[in-house]
Each structure stands twice: as structure tokens, then as C-alpha cells.
């Protein structure tokens, strides 16, 4: 599939925004940003990974898993079920829902390939395309997007 020059410019624009959004993350181990865009190239929601509202931030000791990872006691991808952070893609979908905005047919721009959990969330939210910047080791995510017929494209 060939991408037009105009589409490349939009992709760069939204991915640049996703990179700025990720600077809001309070996670100790990985900062991720996501932007949801409607089919008319209008931003409908943004999200970054971090602690839920009212919970002590990850960067101030709120997430024991992240603390263990920074101390080298667990490896990347281990004990994800113990992480308290809400992921960027989840936060973007939740933000849209809180504002009563449909995510059906929206396009998602993520700074990282979504994890399996976020992949399932994006599929259920009706996302039509996913663009990502950085690889995250998740063969299952790619397989799920493929089976759901949702194009997944790495932006270089």
C-alpha cells in the first residue's frame, strides 16, 4: 500500500503530537503517547501512560512493578499484571468516552506498538488504523490487528 505525500504529512503531524503527549507520562520505565484522530483528521482524544486519578504517581513510588524494574529485579515484559499504570491507548479511549465522543473508525497514532491489552481495547473501540513509531515486542498484537483487518503501520 502506497502512502501519498499528503498522508505522510498528516502522519508526521499526528505522530509529533503523540511524542509531545508522552512527555506527560509519569511512568519510571517507559513513556508512551497516543492520539486518536477521526477520519476527517481532527484530534478527538490524547492519552499517555500513568497512574489512575487519585493514585500516587509512578514516579513518586506509586507502582511497585516499575520500582522493581528500575532496580533490575524484573525484566521488561515481566509481571505486567502488577503495573498500576493506565496505558496511553487506554487513556485516549477513556478520554473520548468521558467526553461522549465515538472512537468508531478513528485512527490511532502511538509512540509504541500497542501491547496485547491495548490492542484488544483499540479493536473493541472500533479503531480503523494504527500507526506506531517504536517497536514493542508483541507478535500477538500484530496478529490480532491482522485478524481484525486493522492496518498496522510503523512510521520511520
Catalytic residues: 89
Residue 146's Cβ-count burial label (10 Å; 0-12, 13-18, 19+) is exposed
Report which of 150, 99, 106, 152 is spatially closest to residue 125, judged by C-alpha positions. 106
Cell for 33?
503517547
**How far does CA 144 lie from the centroid of its chain?**
15
State the helix-helix crossing angle for 139-147 and 116-124, rounded to 10 degrees. Answer: 20
d(CA 33, CA 123): 18
d(CA 99, CA 75): 37
d(CA 140, CA 47): 22
Amino acid at each position: 500500500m502506497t502512502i501519498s505525500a499528503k498522508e505522510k504529512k498528516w502522519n508526521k503531524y499526528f505522530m509529533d503530537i503523540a511524542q509531545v503527549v508522552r512527555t506527560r507520562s509519569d511512568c519510571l520505565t517507559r513513556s508512551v503517547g497516543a492520539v486518536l484522530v477521526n477520519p476527517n483528521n481532527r484530534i478527538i482524544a490524547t492519552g499517555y501512560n500513568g497512574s489512575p486519578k487519585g493514585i500516587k504517581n509512578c514516579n513518586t513510588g506509586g507502582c511497585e512493578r516499575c520500582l522493581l524494574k528500575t532496580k533490575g529485579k524484573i525484566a521488561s515484559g515481566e509481571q505486567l499484571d502488577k503495573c498500576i499504570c493506565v496505558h496511553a491507548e487506554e487513556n485516549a479511549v477513556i478520554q473520548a468516552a468521558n467526553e461522549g465522543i465515538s472512537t468508531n473508525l478513528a485512527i490511532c497514532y502511538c509512540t509504541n506498538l500497542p501491547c496485547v491489552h491495548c490492542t484488544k481495547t483499540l479493536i473493541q473501540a472500533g479503531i480503523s488504523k494504527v500507526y506506531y513509531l517504536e517497536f514493542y515486542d508483541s507478535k500477538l498484537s500484530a496478529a490480532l490487528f491482522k485478524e481484525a483487518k486493522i492496518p498496522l503501520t510503523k512510521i520511520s
